[in-house]
């Protein structure tokens, strides 16, 4: 509202500060979040560089209806898979994404397969299934703007679920090599054992992403247990303002967990080498 709060500081910063304003006719006010506007402008300018993904976002930020719900929706750019991406990496990332049409019923990734691609859903819906006790069960439904396939790439493990197209759609995919270089490594902040203990001493919390049975056996003092499979469910439970040092036995599961948390804006560090590294340090 004119004359109060952020209304005193218009986006055109060269103008003098507004002390008071008064409507002399009926009007409608358009409120623009400065941070959101900056994000949109950044991606819009980078999108001019070309490439399949750049075309998608270029259309989106110029008013395409998909801007409200697509892979490059404002919500996704602020809080989703691309939210924490360093601005310097945006142009290269857009050039590396491949756009792939997918028909309904197409299996995109299969449980137990080697990880080779990271995916973002541009349009359409997918179903996530896992085999539990010999029975295939649907565990989640993904839609436009959601990403999948990162866990196997970060942890260098096999796929832990099958993802199938529920509808016709289009996916953006990134190779394992490009994913590691452009997305994963910029978000993974590694700490050695001594550095991790020092950060915890200053107020960070240990976050154990192993199974509860492992956690009960040899957890670190004061550690919170959030198994890797439950990480996404914990986003609304854990305090995003708290600092966390994530660990597992070897560093594989914790790498995947740290990446997922970092994507959502959590302040996380990765204990390099996991508990095995701490045991080697103690032995040395």
Residue 261: φ, ψ to 5°: -65, -45
Starting from the edge strand earliest in sequence, which strands make up the sheet with 190-191, in order? 190-191, 267-271, 243-247, 205-208, 224-225
Q: Is 88 helix (H, G, I), strand (E, B) or coil?
A: helix
Residue partners of 110: CB distance under 8 A and separation at least 6 = 159, 162
pLDDT of the residue at 65: 42
Phi and psi for 98 in degrees, rounded to 5? Answer: -110, 140
Residues designated as active site: 248
Q: Please check whether residue 44 lies inside any domain of the structure.
A: no
Distance CA 116, CA 263 (A): 20
Q: Is 15 inside any structural domain?
A: no
Encode pLDDT of 207-216 as tens digits.
999 999 999 9
Number of domains in the chain: 2
- Residues 179, 196 within the same domain: no
Q: Are residues 212 and 277 in the same domain?
A: yes
In a domain, 261, yes or no: yes
> Of 155, 183, 211, which residue sits at a domain end?
183
DSSP string, 167-201: S-EEEEEEEHHHHIIIIIHHH--EE-HHHHHHHHH
The confidence score (pLDDT) of residue 77 equals 61
CATH code for the domain in which residue 233 is found: 3.40.250.10
From first to last of its 284 residues, the chain has per-residue pLDDT tens of 444 455 555 555 555 666 677 888 888 877 766 666 655 555 455 444 444 444 544 554 444 443 444 566 656 666 566 666 666 666 677 778 898 999 999 999 999 999 999 999 989 999 999 998 889 999 999 998 888 999 888 888 889 899 999 999 999 899 999 988 887 888 889 999 999 999 999 999 999 999 999 999 999 999 999 999 899 889 999 999 999 999 999 998 999 899 889 888 899 999 999 998 887 665 55
Q: Give yes or no: residues 139 and 199 share one domain.
A: no
131: domain range? 97-183
pTM, whole model, 2 decimals?
0.64
124 and 207 within one domain: no
Per-residue pLDDT, 133? 86
In terms of domains, do 205 and 272 share one? yes
Euclidean distance between CA atoms 67 and 81, whole angstroms? 15
176 with 197, same domain: the answer is no
């Amino acid at each position: 509202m004119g004359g109060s709060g952020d209304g005193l500081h218009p986006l055109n910063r060269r103008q003098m500060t507004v002390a008071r304003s008064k409507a002399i006719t009926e009007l409608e006010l358009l409120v623009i979040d400065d941070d959101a506007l900056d994000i949109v402008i950044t991606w819009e300018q980078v999108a001019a560089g070309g490439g399949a993904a750049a075309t998608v976002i270029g259309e989106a930020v110029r008013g395409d209806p998909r801007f409200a719900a697509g892979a490059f929706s404002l919500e996704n750019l602020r809080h989703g898979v691309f939210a924490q991406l360093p601005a310097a990496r945006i142009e290269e990332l857009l050039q590396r994404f491949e756009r792939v049409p997918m028909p309904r019923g197409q299996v995109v990734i299969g449980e137990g397969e080697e990880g080779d691609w990271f995916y973002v859903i541009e349009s359409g819906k997918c179903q996530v299934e896992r085999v539990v006790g010999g029975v295939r069960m649907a565990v989640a439904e993904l839609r436009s703007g959601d990403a999948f396939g990162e866990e196997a790439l970060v942890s260098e493990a096999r796929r832990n679920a099958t993802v199938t197209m529920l509808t016709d759609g289009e996916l953006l995919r990134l190779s394992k090599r490009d994913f590691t270089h452009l997305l994963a490594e910029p978000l993974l902040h590694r700490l050695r054992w001594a550095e991790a203990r020092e950060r915890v001493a200053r107020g960070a919390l240990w976050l154990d992403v192993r199974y509860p049975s492992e956690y009960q056996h040899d957890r670190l003092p004061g550690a919170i247990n959030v198994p890797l499979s439950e990480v996404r469910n914990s986003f609304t439970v854990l305090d995003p303002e708290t600092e966390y040092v994530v660990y597992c036995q070897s560093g594989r599961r914790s790498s995947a967990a740290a990446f997922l948390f970092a994507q959502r804006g959590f302040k996380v560090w990765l204990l390099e080498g996991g508990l095995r590294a701490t045991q080697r340090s103690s032995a040395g």
